[in-house]
């Protein structure tokens, strides 16, 4: 890793959907280690934690998914669901069913052509699951993750929680007003909650105080050719609603491979609510009425995610009172 120049590290981080710093931090070092593995370099199998991980695992998951075997999200981690998909594949080709991806299994994978066409099955499954949940928020579990120990994003989370509870949703916050769990603890909490959706709220910062605006991130990896279709759609809805209702600069939506987005089982987004290093954004977020508008935008975006196309409305026009009048609770 020491032989890489800063520009090479930046290019690698950009290609992998990581925060572009030019520095080899813990996350970048792990990604560099994962990138060295190609499918066939080693045998893959389910191990006691830490689980096997790398680009070879992601390639295996992508191949299985293309052939219709459900290994869940392509995350590059050889977990129980990947092992089960390998066993299903081995059974289908008459190979020894041991859940291990050794030379014989890899050769069989390479020889066979796609069984499924018309879209990646994992993407189709995720989209179908979201549609099958129906429009009502009363049967949805939403996890709100106020990042760090920031009091303003916590306040936005609480305001959003109250509005969602009023519409019948089950809502969990990953922290209270004073504690600050680790990212791993927040991911575990969300997964154990069987969430339908996870929303992480964050205020960004930058050395140049002129950087400003709101951005929304979802899970996606160009390197592995995968993304969360529900996460991407929800990120777009959130970004459009926030920018239609506020004067935040629109910094658009972006695919990233941060652990919070990659390892959370439910569709997840991270929303950057301005920059705490920009005077204008600081002024916006310090206003309670502005945070109320953000909370309303989030609730409307959540509701729009579950509405059928014919029932949807123009961005920035729906109000929570409209949802109550329409009886979208049960």
CATH of the domain at 97: 1.10.101.10
- Looking at the domain assignment, is residue 153 inside a domain? yes
Could you tell me if 29 and 47 lie in one domain? no
> Tell me: the pLDDT tens digits for 244-299?
999 999 999 999 999 999 999 999 999 999 999 999 999 999 999 999 999 999 99
Q: What is the mean pLDDT of residues 59-66?
A: 89
Please report where in the chains the tokens 């593995």 appear, as a residue.
37
Could you tell me if 229 and 138 lie in one domain? yes
> Tell me: the pLDDT tens digits for 196-239?
999 999 999 999 999 999 999 999 988 777 888 899 999 999 99
Could you tell me if 249 and 264 lie in one domain? yes
Residue-averaged pLDDT of the chain: 89
Q: Confidence band (pLDDT; 50, 70, 90) for 185?
A: very high
Is the model's pLDDT at 187 over the cut of 60? yes
Q: What is the pLDDT of residue 128?
A: 58
Could you tell me if 252 and 317 lie in one domain? yes
Q: Which two tokens stand for residue 85?
A: 């998909």
- Looking at the domain assignment, is residue 165 inside a domain? yes
Q: Confidence band (pLDDT; 50, 70, 90) for 308?
A: low
Q: Confidence band (pLDDT; 50, 70, 90) for 194?
A: very high
Q: What is the pTM of this model?
A: 0.82
Could you tell me if 148 and 24 lie in one domain? no
Could you tell me if 156 and 185 lie in one domain? yes
Range in 21-35, 68-82, 131-145, 172-186 the model is least confident about:
131-145
Q: Which two tokens stand for residue 293?
A: 């508008």
Q: What is the pLDDT of residue 133?
A: 65
Q: Confidence band (pLDDT; 50, 70, 90) for 9?
A: very high
Give just the sign of the alpha carbon dihedral 155, 160, 166, 170.
negative
Could you tell me if 142 and 17 lie in one domain? no
- Looking at the domain assignment, is residue 126 inside a domain? no
- Domain of 187, CATH number, reads 3.40.630.40
Percent over 90 (pLDDT), the chain: 73
Among 63, 62, 70, which residue's Cα sits nearest to residue 222?
Answer: 62
Domain that holds residue 207: 131-326
Q: What is the pLDDT of residue 131?
A: 63
Q: What is the pLDDT of residue 116?
A: 45
CA distance 230 to 7: 33
Could you tell me if 244 and 155 lie in one domain? yes
Q: What is the pLDDT of residue 121?
A: 57
Tally of structural domains, the chain: 3
Q: What is the 3-state secondary structure (H, E, C) of the chain?
A: CCCCCHHHHHHHHHHHCCCCCCCCCHHHHHHHHHHCCCCCCCCECCCCCCCCECHHHHHHHHHHHHCCCCCCCCCCECCHHHHHHHHHHHHHHCCCCCCCECHHHHHHHHHCCCCCCCCCHHHHHHHHHHHHCCCCCCCCEEEEEECCCCHHHHHHHHHHHHHHHHCCCEEEECCCCCCCCCHHHHHHHHHHCCCCEEEEEEEECCCCCCCCCEEEEEEEECCCCEECHHHHHHHHHHHHHHHHHCCCCEEEEEEECCHHHHCCCCCEEEEEEEECCCHHHHHHHCCHHHHHHHHHHHHHHHHHHHCCHHHCCCCCCCCHHHHHHHCCCC
- Looking at the domain assignment, is residue 124 inside a domain? no
CA distance 324 to 300: 12
CA distance 169 to 323: 13
- Looking at the domain assignment, is residue 125 inside a domain? no
Could you tell me if 151 and 289 lie in one domain? yes
Phi, psi of 132 (to 5 degrees): -70, -15
Q: What is the pLDDT of residue 310?
A: 47
Percent over 70 (pLDDT), the chain: 86
> Tell me: the pLDDT tens digits for 113-167?
544 444 455 555 666 566 666 678 888 999 999 999 999 999 999 999 999 999 9
């Amino acid at each position: 890793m020491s032989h890489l120049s800063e520009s090479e590290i930046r290019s690698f981080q950009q290609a992998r959907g990581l925060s572009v710093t030019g520095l080899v931090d813990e996350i970048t070092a792990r990604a560099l280690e994962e990138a060295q593995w190609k499918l066939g370099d080693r045998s893959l199998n389910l191990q006691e934690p830490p689980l096997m991980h790398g680009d070879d695992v992601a390639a295996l998951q992508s191949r299985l998914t293309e052939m219709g075997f459900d290994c869940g999200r392509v995350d590059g981690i050889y977990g129980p669901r990947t092992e089960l998909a390998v066993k299903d594949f081995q059974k289908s080709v008459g190979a020894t069913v041991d859940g291990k991806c050794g030379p014989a299994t890899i050769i069989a994978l390479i020889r066979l052509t796609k069984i499924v066409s018309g879209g990646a099955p994992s993407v189709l499954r995720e989209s179908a699951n979201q549609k099958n949940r129906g429009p009502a928020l009363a049967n949805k579990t939403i996890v709100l993750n106020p990042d760090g120990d920031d009091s303003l994003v916590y306040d936005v989370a609480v305001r959003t929680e109250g509005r969602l509870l009023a519409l019948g949703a089950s809502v969990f916050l990953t922290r209270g007003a004073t504690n600050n769990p680790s990212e791993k603890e927040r991911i575990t909490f969300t997964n154990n909650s069987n969430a339908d959706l996870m929303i992480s709220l964050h205020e960004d910062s930058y050395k140049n105080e002129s950087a400003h605006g709101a951005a929304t991130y979802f899970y996606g990896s160009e390197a592995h050719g995968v993304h969360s279709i529900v996460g991407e759609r929800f990120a777009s809805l959130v970004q459009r609603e926030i920018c239609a209702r506020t004067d935040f600069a629109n910094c658009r939506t972006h695919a990233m491979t941060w652990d919070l987005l990659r390892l959370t089982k439910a569709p997840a987004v991270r929303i950057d609510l301005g920059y705490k290093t920009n005077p204008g954004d600081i002024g916006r977020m310090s206003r309670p009425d502005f945070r109320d508008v953000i909370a309303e935008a989030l609730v409307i975006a959540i509701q729009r995610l579950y509405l059928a196309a014919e029932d949807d409305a123009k961005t920035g026009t729906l109000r929570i009172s409209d949802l109550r009048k329409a009886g979208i609770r049960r």
